[in-house]
A and B are shown apart, each in its own frame.
Chain A
Amino acid sequence: MYFLLVYMYIKNHVYMFPDLLGCHGKCRRYLFCCFQDRAGQFFSSGHTNNWAVLVCTSRFWFNYRHVANTLSVYRSVKRLGIPDSHIVLMLADDMACNHRNPKPATVFSHKNMELNVYGDDVEVDYRGYEVTVENFLRILTGRLPPSTPRSKRLLSDDRSNILIYLTGHGGNGFLKFQDSEEISNVELADAFEQMWQKRRYNELLFIIDTCQGASMYERFYSPNLMALASSQVGEDSLSHQPDLAIGVHLMDRYTFYLLEFLEDIHPASKTNMNDLFKVCPKSQCVSTPGHRTDLFLRDPGSVLITDFFGSVRKVELTMETINLTDPIDAESGELQKEMHTYADQLPVSEIIHQKPKQKDWHPPDGFILGLWTLILLVFFQTYGVKHLKHIF
């Protein structure tokens, strides 16, 4: 028992002060190349594209702040360069067009309506009831039905850096989706492991802003993961300020200070992760933010914020060209004046004529069993207590 306590104490401190353990992170031998080359940022990070998966898991008007959290991270990420085609935005409820919103088509993050994070070019990929644990895991692992469009997929490869941001209500080891289901930290860790097996990411930054958020990254075991949480196990993440005109709290503290920090970053800035770890100390946040870097191979001091939040492309100058001498055949152009045909993108005839899926038989659930037990009891009661005596 005592040993367990000591172990937990050490574990917590390992996550917050990785330097204590020295080479802990570098002791894994996986695919990695590390260059600190001045001549080009080309080799310093090893990624060629960036993706972001931003999820807000709670619905109802009083959870306005979770939608505002997600939208403010979305805004920062877009401003720093990641295009919409590389962002998967999941919002569990529509706050901007909610009946109770006194200013429709806006979602504010600062009181006195200073900053509208909804803007006019928001592209929400999963909305409302589409935000479920199943869809979230499907996006991460890539197991989507073939009819899913590109904008709803995470098409990352082995050179993608992915930012995953989750916010909502959570507890010790789980995160609540839509008030009806939850995702556990084991499932999340397994999903990341499957992503690693298929090399669907180069490096992954996981940020979670919920109560007891640190419990969600406790179970990670795949390499190249860095995690940040807004509060430790046993602590609650608190919200920032209410706006009296709108009537709800607008943002959570951690994300509020994170947004302030990100507003100072521009695509060419050289701020690194150590500054991100210092965002929202206990004096501002009331809860203690935590981070985990032991699975990450590079030193956090050498990881730029724009490696995950922005999308700085590597470029190479093209030095060669091919000498083409054939003239273009003008005649072939004129002969092919065929009308444009509609390219069938989905096998519509197959879909229409599909047989309905056979549903699996499930044994009767608790309600039916309880009902039958009640009926039997009433039967025995009316028709003879003496029969009951033999059973009980």
Chain B
Amino acid sequence: VLKESKRAVNSILVDDDDEDEEDVERVSWSGEPVGSISWSVKETASSIRSGSEQSFPKIDTTPSLSKQGSGYSLSSLFKGNLHDLSPEETVRRMQKGRAFSLEKFRSLQDKLLLLDEAVAVYDGNVITAVLIFLKKSLSKEILFRELMARDVALRHYVHYLKEMGEQKLLVELLKALGRTEDMALMHYKEHLNIKDESRRRDFLKSCLSLPFSQDDATHVQDHYTLLERQIIIEASDKKAVAEIFKKFPRKASILNMPIITTLYYSCFYHYGESEGTFSSPSNIRKTFRISEKQYILTALGARAKLKSWFDVDSLFNTKNWLGYTKKRSPIGFHRVVDILHKNSAPVQVLQEYVNLIDNPDLKLGGALKYKCHDIVINTYRDLKDRQQLIVYREKLERDSPEYRKIQELLNNVQIRWKN
């Protein structure tokens, strides 16, 4: 229906395309309406690139602006009055952006009254302003101690330090509060700022001794090990000459990729290497405790991409005690079929795996979708569904082997059809 209506709309004849300009917003090449602000900003940007606007800076001859404006500078005029204001009045003035003075709040008690008043009026802007004042006028030990009992103010302070990038003080604060796990994470986060991979690796190594929760400690250890290995693999693969690297040149470096991406990479470029090498799939699997399911899924993706159907087969082959091979999979075979199909596996390969799907509905669905005729025909035969067989026959080429097979079945008088 949708296709039809699309065709209908597209086929409607319009007299003159130029007229469209009248009722349609004028749009520039980037799709921004001409004259819009976003459009204009782009124009400026492109003119900079072309360098056409470069000229000598003018010398400013006008006197600099008088220092007008805000409450701070005005405060000198009213010093007398402002100093007499109560915490309530001061906070009120701060809320309104009027002149105020914090200088008279010198005793710890006064400072805390001021802070509590700011918290009481819910104004985050004023809370932070008071905290900035306290940061400058109290030692950090005292400030930390007082913040411990004031959760709202504390959270404002932590956020302010984060925004100011005062990492060191923040770590000290969290330590003083006994929030060691938060402190460890905060420190770990710093690695995102380090671009150079060796420095990043060394930094991660220094994180290992931080007081993470037990689980997170394992993850951070993994992070360090991963990057360490990636650096080794990258150094050797950058100049690798093996056939596979020529046939499928690497599109990006493996540095800083997730564990699973690294496993995929290793299944792609280093399949079959012995467990002793860092780049081998088995080594990565073991080092990072990758589940069987996850391993099979990743290896399947990589080997199917390379169309190594033999490798795909051996992933699922298991031998029983009599020595017979049998296919077994920790992921549903319908998923396996999906992945094989996405990598354009030939019908013979697909057919084998469609046959392994447990669920009869999924199996028939897969067989229909991927045109595994034999499976479709056998399934209908087993269901004794004559009507479906007739319908399916019509979809096949006349005199093809499948067509003839259906024909034979339909002529078989021994089958007791249900319809």
Asked if A and B are interacting partners, one says no
